[in-house]
Amino acid sequence: MNGFFLINKEKNMSSHDAIYLIKKKLNLNKIGHTGILDPMAEGLLIVLINKATKLAFLFENLDKTYQGSIIFNKNFDTLDVTGKIIDTKTNILSIEEIEKSFLFFSKKKYLQVPPMYSAIKIKGKKMYNLARKNIQIDIPPRKVNIKNLKITSSFENDSIDFETKVSKGTYIRSLARDIASQMNTYGALKKLTRTKIGLYNLKKAQNINSVDFKNLIDVKILFKKTQKIILNDYLIKLVKNGVLLDERQISTTKSFLVLDKNQNWIAYYEPIQKNKYYPKYFF
């Protein structure tokens, strides 16, 4: 069986622990996920199994939607409330100020500095391991796109709820920090739930305890809009051996599926240069 699950990860559990439990429960050989959720966060985790783990790249660029809560005037080393408080402020914030800061970041592309406590590697070492040893480094910023950002609650006890849709590579902990910094104060996440990855919704996700093969989504759903070509038996044999295709079979700038004369799916190809195509996945 090859495919993927939509999983509702509980908080206080790492993404690694979540997939380990699924692997053990379903007795799987290969398993992986398409995007880490911090232990303090909950929500949608896409889990790939067996051969489908090779298709993780198809999920990499999907936008993600989150709901969460920010607490202001407190600076945590992890940028969320699971960390250690470094400093506090007593700024009296108004809802007008907060709305202005949210508006500033909504539909905004900017260079965001990831949290020190993150799984990003610098010179082969994960940053959270460096942070735990109090090793300070310059963290390279990354370009992110805040596609939507809105307040979803009243402002009470220095806290406010929000919803946001963001591009690949965006850290919501960093966004909370940056929203607060715009108002000359601190900000940290109190809670976070990932509700969507692309078109996939948390509402259709399974809890780890109830996950079953009947919930497995066939990888073919990922290729609904992918163009297809049918090749003869001789070329199909070559395709199965990983041959590159060229303009003699197809001329396109897009990825495509190779089918045999009986409409069986054989391989998924992507362009690597003009009129040269490489097999990325075999069915």
Q: 180-206: per-residue pLDDT in tens?
A: 999 999 999 999 999 999 999 999 999
Mean pLDDT of 135-158: 93
Same domain, 146 and 212: no
Same domain, 98 and 189: yes
Same domain, 89 and 184: yes
SS3 content of the chain, % helix, strand, coil (to 5): 25, 35, 40
State how far the Cα of 207 lies from the Cα of 194, in Å rounded to an integer: 14
Q: How many helices (H) and strands (E) does the chain have?
A: 5, 20
pLDDT band at 174; cut points 50, 70, 90 = very high
So what's the pLDDT on residue 66?
A: 99
Q: Burial of 151 by CB count in 10 Å (0-12 exposed, 13-18 middle, 19+ buried)? A: middle
Q: Tell me which residue range forms the domain holding 260.
A: 225-282
What sign for the dihedral angle of Cα 125, 128, 132, 134? positive
Specify the pTM.
0.91
The per-residue pLDDT for range 93-114, each reduced to its tens digit, is 999 999 999 999 999 999 999 9
So what's the pLDDT on residue 103?
A: 98
So what's the pLDDT on residue 131?
A: 66
Q: Name the average pLDDT for the chain.
A: 95
Q: Which active-site residues does the annotation give?
A: 38
Same domain, 83 and 141: yes
Same domain, 71 and 190: yes
Same domain, 146 and 27: no
State how far the Cα of 146 lies from the Cα of 149, in Å rounded to an integer: 7
Split into its structural domains, the chain has a count of 3
Same domain, 18 and 118: no
State how far the Cα of 32 lies from the Cα of 50, in Å rounded to an integer: 9
The per-residue pLDDT for range 241-281, each reduced to its tens digit, is 999 999 999 999 999 999 999 999 999 999 999 999 999 99
Same domain, 168 and 113: yes
The CATH code of the domain that includes 262 is 2.30.130.10
Phi-psi label, residue 198: left if phi above 0, alpha if psi -120 to 50, beta otherwise:
left
Q: Burial of 269 by CB count in 10 Å (0-12 exposed, 13-18 middle, 19+ buried)? A: buried
Same domain, 96 and 55: no
Same domain, 30 and 70: no
Same domain, 42 and 76: no
Q: Burial of 156 by CB count in 10 Å (0-12 exposed, 13-18 middle, 19+ buried)? A: exposed
The CATH code of the domain that includes 24 is 3.30.2350.10
Mean pLDDT of 22-50: 96
Name the CA dihedral angle for 146, 147, 153, 156, rounded to a multiple of 10 degrees: 10
Same domain, 73 and 157: yes
